[in-house]
Structure 1
Amino acid sequence: MNRQTSRVARSARQVLAVCAAVVLTALVAVGYLVIEEWTEPGSEPDAVHAGELTELLARVQVADELPMAGYSREEFPHWEPNRPEYGFGDEFAQYARCTTREVMLLRDAVGSVRLDPKTCDLSVGSTGGWQDEYGTLDRQTGALNPYKWMTDSSGVDAEHIVPLAEAWRSGAAELDEDTRRRIANDATNLVASDPSANRSKGDQDAANYLPPGKFRCTYLDRYLRVKVTFGLTVDPAEQTALRTAVAACGDPTGLG
């Protein structure tokens, strides 16, 4: 190889190196953008429209609550092996050995969280965890506290949007065990939450508790869908509160 050919070869290698560096930088930038958009706390993939909520509310029957006599959580068999009827969808069908709690944790996870379909062990990577959507209020100021970020799956609550006790009072006391099983394991009725937020809710219905943050309208949508799907009722106070909350979803300034 003569000197001129050697210089041309070196120049070509330098140009290729520069191009590769530019391409790599662009790919990394795009990658970070995708991750930032995917993991933005409190982001909602689909807007909930007040009109849809109004239609759902109109489909729920109004009735006085049933007594709590005979209630226990065991009346609602929960954390059953995942089945298609629970509504998690085809992408989670491979986790048939895992419980609905474990599948819900995978579905609601952010970042590098994996569920082994054979052992049902959850593994959380350096970017993985769960972002609470409910939120809690500061007891002194009434302001919304920062949303909690959780990285330990054992410290995440599997929250029933329609609490099991509320379902019992709303008609589940008169339903068969298989229907109560579906209420307890239903994908729409389950969400990962901060235990503190979950405790502040307890078994209260929508007349006494709604998430204080921006998850409220999605919460209302899922709350009403569970009530409609399983033929559960609302009492008059609950209906009034739901009407007010649904109307606020049509006005973002009313969400607090």
Structure 2
Amino acid sequence: MTVSWGAYRRARRRSRQAWALLVVLALSVLSIVLWFFTAGQFAAAEPAVAGPSQAPVFDGTWMKPVVPVYPVPQGSARAALDGLAVKGRAPNINYQREAFGQAWLDVDRNGCDTRNDILRRDLASVGFTEGSTCRVASGAIVEPYTGTAVEFRRGPESSKEIQIDHVVALGDAWQKGAQGLTPQQRQSLANDPLNLIAADGPANQQKSAGDAATWLPKNKNIRCHYVARQISVKASYGLWVTQPEKDAMKRVLDSCPDQPTIAAR
């Protein structure tokens, strides 16, 4: 079989073009892989909407302030951590949830209980039950502890998917100074928006009464804010930390030395 010189040249040209395309595709794949394993994996984990680290703790248009024991110290979370007392846990005796008042009271007297206040604050595209401007029926959230997007729907089972977490667990607070607070101060601690975040139900159950030494959010992007919020709450209510807890908090803050304390804003 005889092949003409022109056909041979055309075949060679197509072959070179094919190889050039393969090289371009390979370089594109390589650049994507390099991007992902440097910055991309962290960018991909960022919430698509404002999370707790961006959203305000307090919205004065419909919330009223809860008066803490002390104001949150201004400045870095690391400095505030160094200002907290370091002690061992007090005995976990006589602890009852009722020591912090009835769950989800309307402590700020704005007409809505605390659970619905926090759902309204933390969810986007909030819908209310028919005839109510308080009872949250639906909404969307990029859940802070796991970093996953969740659609909230009120219901006997579905409501459990998003729970309201006490950033400083009440059981932990009880063993680290809350026994010395007045009933009114403990009620404020349990309902203070600073100490409350709408969060993944299973993650909240896993955390239980854990402190930073025993539990941190799976989503590493929220850890600096989470630890700073725990420090801010403990400073605001005169609670202490254990040495392992302080060490764990310092390790988190080492990655964000400029992390400020968190206050109602």
Q: TM-score range by the shorter chain?
A: 0.5 to 0.7
Q: CA deviation at 1:228?
A: 0.2
Provide Cα deviations, 1:8-42, integer angstroms capped at 9, x if missing partner.
xxxxxxxxxxxxxxxxxxxxxxxxxxxxxxx8146
1:71 maps to which of 87, 90, 95: 95
Q: TM-score, normalised by structure 2?
A: 0.64
Structure with greater Cα Rg: 2
What secondary structure sits across from 2:164 in the alignment? strand
**Residues 117/71 of structure 1: CA separation in 2 closer, same or farther (3 Å cut):** farther
Match of 1:204 in 2: 210
Q: Which protein has greater RCO, CA pairs closer than 8 Å, 6+ apart?
A: 2
- In 2, are the aligned partners of 1:157 and 1:192 still within 8 Å (CA)? yes
Q: TM-score, normalised by structure 1?
A: 0.66
- In 2, are the aligned partners of 1:106 and 1:115 still within 8 Å (CA)? no
The question of 1:167 aligning with 2:173 is answered yes
Match of 2:186 in 1: 180
In 1, Cα distance between the equivalents of 2:93 and 2:211? 18
**Residues 100/116 of structure 1: CA separation in 2 closer, same or farther (3 Å cut):** farther
Alignment of 1:1-256 (within 5 A): 40-41=48-49, 43=51, 44-45=53-54, 52-77=76-101, 78-83=103-108, 96-114=110-128, 120-124=134-138, 128-135=139-146, 147-153=148-154, 154-155=159-160, 156-213=162-219, 214-250=221-257
- Structure 2, gaps ≥5 residues long: 1-46, 56-74, 260-265
In 2, Cα distance between the equivalents of 1:188 and 1:117? 29
Identity of aligned residues (%): 31
The structure where helix makes up a greater share of residues is: 1
Total equivalences in the alignment:
186
**Residues 70/240 of structure 1: CA separation in 2 closer, same or farther (3 Å cut):** same
**Residues 81/241 of structure 1: CA separation in 2 closer, same or farther (3 Å cut):** same
- In 2, are the aligned partners of 1:132 and 1:148 still within 8 Å (CA)? yes
| Superposition misfits of 4+ residues, deviation over 6 angstroms | none
